Amino acid sequence: MTSDVAFTFAAEPDLRRFRVALAHFYRPSFLLVRTTGVLLIAVAGFLLLLGGRGGTVAGLLLGAVFLLLAPAWIVRRTAVRVAELADRPATYRVDGEGIRVSSDLIEQLYRWPALTTVAEVPGILLATTVGAAGFVAVPTDGLTPEDAAALTAFVRARVGGA
């Protein structure tokens, strides 16, 4: 383990913040879901213009579900499923080894080579893992603006093979 500890801080659970992180992480997948919704609406609308009746209303409704409701439902459902782990006070340690998240139930270490991208979402520093298989959300809203900026710079300098 490295000895160059850069940041260690605790954060209270915030499911709203977690849902924001999920929504940001799922954005590429939601693009596909929403595109499917638009295509369903377009095809159903075209068939409706041609005088079709059978599946056009169902196609319009299904398209609207894909376009408007599915992304929110996916985020909500995922947040509910992991709430027991995510809705706990946690300690974050960001150092030369990586990002460590600890609570009374978990201890996770994301080493720098496992993290490929980093995004700043309001109140969150979101680092995505290799293959976009997962993410670690580091809350920054409880830090001073200076500490949040220093943490962000520290993480950005190490993520993605920089």
Number of domains observed in the structure of the chain: 2
How high is the mean pLDDT of the chain?
A: 89
Output the pLDDT for position 1: 47
Give the amino acid at 37: G
Last residue of a domain, one of 43, 67, 83: 83
Alpha-carbon span 81 to 25, nearest angstrom:
16
**Predicted pLDDT of residue 133:** 85
| Closest of 106, 72, 73 to residue 92, by C-alpha | 106
Q: Is pLDDT of 126 > 70?
A: yes
> Other C-beta atoms within 10 Å of 145: how many?
8
In this structure, is residue 133 part of a structural domain?
yes
Whether 97 and 57 share a structural domain: no
Query: For residues 10 and 19, is the Cβ–Cβ distance under 8 A?
Result: no
70 & 93 share domain? no
One domain for residues 101 and 55: no
**99 and 147 co-located in one domain:** yes
Q: Is the pLDDT of residue 49 over 90?
A: no
Residue keyed to tokens 């996916």: 74
User: Does residue 116 sit in helix, strand or coil?
Assistant: strand
In a domain, 20, yes or no: no
Question: CATH number for the domain including 147?
Answer: 2.30.29
Does residue 111 sit in the same domain as residue 125? yes
Q: What is residue 116's predicted lDDT score, i.e. its pLDDT?
A: 94
Q: What is the pLDDT of residues 54-111, one digit of tens each?
A: 778 888 899 999 999 999 999 899 888 888 887 889 999 999 999 999 999 999 999 9
* 34 and 94 share one domain: no
Confidence of residue 145 (pLDDT cuts 50, 70, 90): very high
2 lies in some domain: no
Q: Which residues contact 24 (CB under 8 A, 6 or more apart)?
A: 119, 121, 124, 126
Residue 33 inside a domain? The answer is yes
Residue 139, pLDDT score: 93
Percentage, residues of the chain above pLDDT 70: 96
Helix, coil or strand: residue 61 = helix
Distance between start and end Cα atoms, the chain: 20
Domain that holds residue 31: 25-83
Six token digits for residue 143: 């830090």
Q: Which of 96, 148, 92 is nearest to 121 (CA)?
A: 148
Q: What residues have CB less than 8 Å from 67, skipping those under 6 apart?
A: 34, 37, 38, 41
